Amino acid sequence: MTTCIPAGSGNLHYSVAPCRGQGYRKTSWVSGVAFNRCIQKELLWSCGVSKFLQTQRCNYSKSPFSENWKSFRTVTSSCLRDGSTKYFDFAVIGSGVAGLRYALEVARHGSVAVITKAEPHESNTNYAQGGVSAVLCPPDSVESHMHDTIVAGAYLCDEETVRIVCTEGPDRIRELIAMGASFDHGEDGNLHLTREGGHSHRRIVHAADMTGREIERALLEAVVYDPNIFVFEHHFAIDLLTCQDGSDTVCLGVDTMNTETQEVIRFISKVTLLASGGVGHIYPSTTNPLVATGDGMAMAHRAQAVISNMEFVQFHPTALADEGLPVKPSKPRENAFLITEAVRGDGGILYNLSMERFMPSYDERAELAPRDVVARSIDDQLKKRNEKYVLLDISHKPRKNILSRFPNIAAECLQYGLDITCQPVPVVPAAHYMCGGVRAGLQGETDVRGLYVAGEVACTGLHGANRLASNSLLEALVFARRAVQPSIDHMKSSKHDLGTSNWWSRPVVPFSLGSETMEKILLMTRKVRRELQSIMWEYVGIIRSTIRLQFAEQKIGELEAKWEEYLFQQGWEPTMVGLEACEMRNLFCCAKLVVSSALARHESRGLHYTIDFPNLEESKRLPTVILPGSSVKGTWSSRQLHKQPL
């Protein structure tokens, strides 16, 4: 089925590539901000860098995007090295769809730092296969999309949020297209739409089975050409910088560590957007790339933001089960390879190892049931039959269609001796998506003034107890845009004196401990990480019980105490920072948030299924809320690293 939107349509005027052979508009990276004299020098220095970057941008040839990015990156890291404090109107943490989309809008009003912990493209966004859902063609309707979202979310969704996202979604897609994102089209020249589990219509816009990669490419390309945006790659955000204004907590930026130079860089900003994605790596098997360690949720929790619905961890039912491949990967993968929902949407059938189709006996929607139902059904089959994986078969469809629709999956499987056009694919559930996160209002605002959230890190109320397939890229796009106007208003009205960068003590890189001690700490941290992941998988997985959750809570507490004790015995101090140690404290923090939220929900709803409360209870149809400083025991991982303002 195709939509009514012709290729390349979209009437949004996007201000990209102002540099191609036309000279540049003057960079005004400080927009209407009354900075005091003492920081003027740093501002001027940064303007100098901005000019240098502009020159580089002018030199872009027609080489592929990745090469452009490479030259941009080299300039960035070599030129921005000398200042340990940087001042921006907007700091954006994360370079996935949410962070980049927001950055491109606010950059029209001020200077923007995009801070990202690895290569700019490395994000969940980049791995998204299936697509983005939006109502683009009759007989589909906003009401139908809303209904599907609310049913999948087990009636825990916030109806107003759902309406907003489903209504604004189509415009967000048109904007992406106007910016150069290229999605698949049917023979009639209109967008090709697919259908996925839980959707009652074909409404998934996609770029083969690499939709996220295409979105990320288009957004990064636009960012490269925007003179007001500065990308700081390999900058790990450690903690938000906050102060108290009466009873309000206010965010004034973020401390980061350049993981290549080991320098601590402080970003002072009037507005901060947290767009740091998910937390898949609290589990041993996840479809998320290595960057998804819940840093944003943990940082926000430490900074007194309210966290919500963390018990709702989505396990994708069909990640590639390496054990079932004819040729096994030579080493364990960092993240599980996803077999997109769209395979089931396009007619893929699930079998157990006796080639019995099992889904119809669990749910009348069979393979097209929502993910939680499919994941639990597979889990049940595996446990009952004591098998390691089930099979997903699409080979009954024409070979040509399979290859054009799923080229990425076909190529990946073929590498390991499996031809998906004539053989079934071994699959198993893996941690995939966090429905909970930092509680956000309708414009992405949080309980911390000056701090906004968008994307997977946020809990907007869209997903409720379970995310409908392809609704997360959509949510990220919609909320990244909705956060723009209040951010600009906040930036313009901000009266904070940004010269106070020394209010907070600085985190310290532990050079003083020596390389031998650091090596020991690293090895211990990696071991502890694996232990935490296995506790989460064993006791906080797809099927839960109170006793197992309590056991997990106790085990995690003990493990964290043991790890911290080891670090401090080695001479570690509370203000010290290292990439893996900081990730570890964030993983601990998020794992505890998941467990305490799961323990608080005395019913089974959506992704949270517990044998002790197996039914849905109307009286419990409320979000789980974790207030700052409550329920999670205070440890190193739940405290901000720096002291409160001096």
Ligand X SMILES: Cc1cc2nc3c(=O)[nH]c(=O)nc-3n(C[C@H](O)[C@H](O)[C@H](O)COP(=O)(O)OP(=O)(O)OC[C@H]3O[C@@H](n4cnc5c(N)ncnc54)[C@H](O)[C@@H]3O)c2cc1C
Footprint on this chain of ligand X (rule: CB under 6 A): 93-99, 115-118, 122-125, 127-132, 211-212, 236-237, 275-278, 287-288, 291-292, 295-296, 338, 433, 455-457, 470-473, 476
Of the pair 98, 593, the CB lying nearest ligand X is at: 98
**Rounded-to-integer distance, Cα 242 and Cα 274, Å:** 14
Minimum Å distance from CB 514 to ligand X?
26
- Residue 39, number of CB atoms within 10 A of its CB: 17
Taking the complex as a whole, how short is the minimal distance between the CB of residue 306 and ligand X, in angstroms?
18
| Residue pair 568/632 in contact by the 8 Å Cβ criterion | no
Q: What is the DSSP string of 62-83?
A: S--HHHHHHHHHHHHHHHS-S-
Enter the tokens of residue 200.
């009652």
Question: Checking DSSP bridges between strand 425-434 and strand 390-393, what pairing results, if any?
Answer: antiparallel
Q: Show the tokens assigned to 578.
A: 């290292």
- Which 3 state secondary structure label does DSSP give 11? coil
Please state, in angstroms and rounded to a whole number, the distance separating the CA atoms of residues 453 and 418: 41
Contact predicate 137/348, CB 8 Å: no
For 450, the token pair is: 């000056």
Question: In Å, how far from its chain's centre is CA 168?
Answer: 21
Q: Which is nearer to ligand X, 194 or 610 (CB)?
A: 194
- If the CB atoms of residues 134 and 595 are measured against ligand X, the closer one turns out to be 134
In the complex, the smallest distance separating the C-beta of residue 377 from ligand X, rounded to whole angstroms, is: 20
Contact 251, 274 (CB under 8 A): no
Residue type at 378? Answer: I
Q: Which is nearer to ligand X, 146 or 552 (CB)?
A: 146
Least distance from C-beta 354 to ligand X, angstroms? 29
Comparing CA positions, the residue from 487, 437, 413, 492 lying closest to residue 623 is 437
Instruction: Kindly calculate the radius of gyration of the chain based on its CA atoms and give it in whole angstroms.
Output: 24
In the complex with ligand X, the residue whose CB is nearer, 289 or 441, is 289
For 251-263, the three-class secondary structure string (H helix, E strand, C coil) is EEEEEEEECCCCE
Q: Are 431 and 280 in contact (CB under 8 A)?
A: yes
Give, in order, the Cα–Cα distances in Å from 13 to each of 179, 567, 641: 9, 53, 43
Residue closer to ligand X by CB (options 436, 604) is 436
Minimum CB–partner distance for residue 579 and ligand X (Å) = 9
Instruction: Give the nearest distance from C-beta 120 to ligand X in angstroms.
Output: 7
Partners of 80 in the β-ladder: none
Give the angle subtended at the CA of 444 by the CAs of 440 and 446, to the nearest 5°.
Answer: 50
Closest to ligand X by CB, 40 or 84: 84
Q: Is the Cβ–Cβ distance between 278 and 246 less than 8 Å?
A: no
User: In angstroms, rounded to a whole number, what is the distance separating the alpha carbons of residues 505 and 328?
Assistant: 49
**Shortest Cβ 611–ligand X spacing (Å):** 28
| Residue 115, strand partner residues | 93, 232
CB 305 within 8 A of CB 460: no
502, two tokens: 């020394």
Active site residue 371: yes
Q: How many CB atoms lie within 10 A of CB 569?
A: 8
Distance, C-alpha 340 to centroid of its chain = 17
CB of 282 to ligand X, least distance (A): 14
The one-letter code for the residue type at 367 is: E
- Please give the Cα distance from 207 to 205 (Å, whole number): 7
Q: Report the C-alpha gap between 195 and 159 in whole angstroms.
A: 23
The least CB distance from residue 339 to ligand X, in Å, is: 10
d(CA 207, CA 189): 14
Q: Round to whole Å and give the CA distance between 281 and 424.
A: 28
Active-site position among 101, 217, 371, 529 = 371
> Which CB atom, from 288 or from 501, has the smaller least distance to ligand X?
288
CB of 122 to ligand X, least distance (A): 5
Cβ distance to ligand X smaller for residue 158 or 341: 341
Closer residue to ligand X, CB minimum distance, 2 or 276: 276
As measured in angstroms, the least distance from the Cβ of 542 to ligand X is: 17
The smaller minimum CB distance to ligand X, of residues 325 and 476, is found at 476
Instruction: Give catalytic residues, as residue numbers.
Output: 371
